[in-house]
Copies of this chain bind each other. A is one copy, B any other.
């Protein structure tokens, strides 16, 4: 941490800051420049991260040097983390040379509809089945998901297809139930800073797919992952899914540069959800290709057998034949960047 003093800060003010730093077991290095005095803090200054040094008399600003997260960082673990999903027999590991595509309907609507999609996406090469049972919806007047019944349909679909399942959990009270049945617990965008929920899934033994919040910085995104890892759960998958900007032609703005940035700062795998990011099915394939080209470890894609009848997010869902065609194009991009799909 670097503390920059105001032009004209008095000796008493400097001493006050120095004293406070020492109280916390850290070593201050005072360096008097012509224009400004600065104080460098030696030691792990995360212990004083909380201290509002910027309001101490004579202080102009405080600049942190160390990143506020530890467990998720490349400095903590330099090699890429591989997150194993489902039974070892499924052989699904996210973060390695092989890319993984999670596909399925936005919401589980019925077992029959789910099975149609599950079999189709498996045939096209998806390795994980997605489907929402507990749905967070912006309006209370729209379809809220089938809940526990939806979860049972997913379990049934896994039994029939062998595909591990990923589904969202939205309430601390449901974590135990969902963790018992799903292979990956999804934390949705709107819950990225629902810290109680992060703490709770951090205590399960299932992988967690954490979606970036609508207006979360990369730093905040990694801190949310840190909450999960701090609880002991090492299997976290990051998911870039678009951020909120002024542009309205797409539902959100997919921040693909976040993929290489996240992979440089963290050892965790990173996947991309182009369906929610764009909100338009025509944009899913180009953005899926771009995501793979940018270095993503996988994708999450919405597929629906009859989008016109979808109870949620029909606008952005691909029909199975379109999904199939996209998967074939993705294989070429994967090969071009030295990956497999």
* Chain A interface residues (CB < 8 Å from chain B): 2, 4, 7, 20, 29, 31, 33-36, 38, 40, 42-44, 46, 49-52, 54-56, 63, 65-66, 68-70, 75, 136-143, 170-173, 190-191, 193-196, 199, 213-215, 217-220, 223, 226-227, 230, 243-250, 253-261, 264, 277-278, 281-283, 286-287, 289-295, 307-308, 310-315, 329, 332-333, 335-337
In the bound complex, residues from chain B placing their C-beta under 8 Å from that of A253 are 243, 245, 253, 255, 257
Report chain B residues within 8 Å CB of A38: 2, 40, 65
Q: Which of B46, B194, B219, B282 contacts A190 (CB 8 A)?
A: B194
| A286/B308 in contact, CB under 8 A | no
Q: How many protomers of this protein does the assembly include?
A: 4
Q: How many Å lie between the Cα of A264 and that of B70 in the bound state?
A: 36
Query: Given the known A-B contacts A29-B31, A294-B289, are A256 and B254 also in contact in the complex, defined by CB atoms under 8 Å?
Result: yes
* Known A36-B66, A139-B226; 15 more pairs at CB < 8 Å: A33-B40, A35-B44, A40-B40, A140-B199, A140-B227, A140-B230, A173-B173, A215-B246, A250-B257, A257-B278, A289-B294, A290-B290, A290-B294, A332-B336, A333-B337
A sample of 8 inter-chain contacts (CB < 8 A) reads A31-B40, A34-B43, A50-B142, A171-B172, A172-B172, A249-B258, A287-B294, A329-B337
Let me know if B217 and A246 touch, CB within 8 A. Answer: yes
Most buried by B among A194, A247, A249, A335: A247
Contact (Cβ within 8 A) B190 A193: yes
Residues of B within 8 A of A50 (CB): 142-143, 311-312
Q: Is the CB of B243 within 8 A of A257?
A: no
Which 6 residue pairs across A and B have the least CB separation, nearest first?
A52-B314, A215-B215, A293-B293, A332-B336, A190-B193, A290-B290
* Distance of A43 Cα from B173 Cα, bound (Å): 39
Bound-complex Cα distance A246 to B193 (A): 17
Q: Are A220 and B63 closer than 8 Å at their CB atoms?
A: no
Whole-angstrom CA separation of A50 from B309 in the bound complex = 9
Residue among A68, A277, A286, A287 facing the most chain B CB atoms (10 A cut-off): A286
Q: How far is the CB of A36 from chain B (nearest CB, A)?
A: 6
Q: How distant is the Cα of A283 from the Cα of B255 in the complex, in angstroms?
A: 12
Instruction: Choose one: B31, B199, B245, B337; the contact of A289 (CB below 8 Å).
Output: B337
- CB pair B195–A136 under 8 Å, yes or no, is yes
Q: Smallest distance from the beta carbon of A197 to chain B beta carbons, Å?
A: 8
Separation of A126 and B290 alpha carbons in the complex (Å): 22
The chain B residue with its CB closest to the CB of A259 is B286
Minimum C-beta distance from A331 to chain B (A): 9
